[in-house]
Structure 1
């Protein structure tokens, strides 16, 4: 398969296939006649695995480690369980950060609802932002 064929079969983009190839996650052969990359069934399986893992929040580094562990003959399942716990904690922390940001944004919208638009002559960029106190809302 060529890049576009592999991408189509895995429901992704050719750019993703090329990127994953550059990272060494996919290992195509070279067609001796024209030098094009030729992807096989192993590449398709690895690509589908990588896409599913990414969809679950695993990093490309995680994907590489899991593939390497599997190829060494070991089962990566214990590592998968440990990694997903770590990624889940990271996502939950990020959600908390985003909730805080959302609260500050709602407070700013409310605080600025009736504030006049004005051009500042003292060099400040925007009085709305300068006047906002996230602690008070």
Structure 2
């Protein structure tokens, strides 16, 4: 049996992360000592490592919880894992496209602004640089 700190050391995770996983129910103590220390099974080292690997692949904690639930009842979570990753890849491609468009707008704006003098707020204008871009897109 391992304490939170021992579990953290063996799973190479900060102890506050282990405590957080306990608080949200991703790992559960097997026992509790009279002094209040929670004790964990050595298998929880693997579970914490799994959680951290899944997070590193982009899975959310709720998705990881879903995967663990399947595994805990002896069901293969692999179909869910594939579906989640496929969905995440599609989302990422959309975000990447949006970011590339934003990057292009920013670079175009900067080029335009290099040719423009500094302005002073007039009460009607806050920053003519940004307002010029806004007007050119309308």
Structure 2 gaps of 5+ residues are none
State the match for 1:8 in structure 2: 9
Query: How many residues align structurally?
Result: 136
Q: Deviations over 1:32-51 (max 9, x none)?
A: 23212333323211111111
Residues 89 and 34 of structure 1: is their aligned pair in 2 closer, same or farther, counting only changes over 3 Å? same
Q: How does 1:1-137 map to 2 (within 5 A)?
A: 1-29=2-30, 31-133=32-134
Query: Helix, strand or coil: the match of 1:79?
Result: helix
Deviation at 1:25, TM superposition (A): 0.4
Distance 1:22 1:104 in 2: 44
Contact 1:112-1:128 within 8 A present in 2 as well:
yes
Residues 120 and 9 of structure 1: is their aligned pair in 2 closer, same or farther, counting only changes over 3 Å? same
Deviation at 1:76, TM superposition (A): 1.0
Query: Helix, strand or coil: the match of 2:65?
Result: helix
| Two-structure CA RMSD over aligned residues (Å) | 2.1
Structure 1 gaps of 5+ residues are none
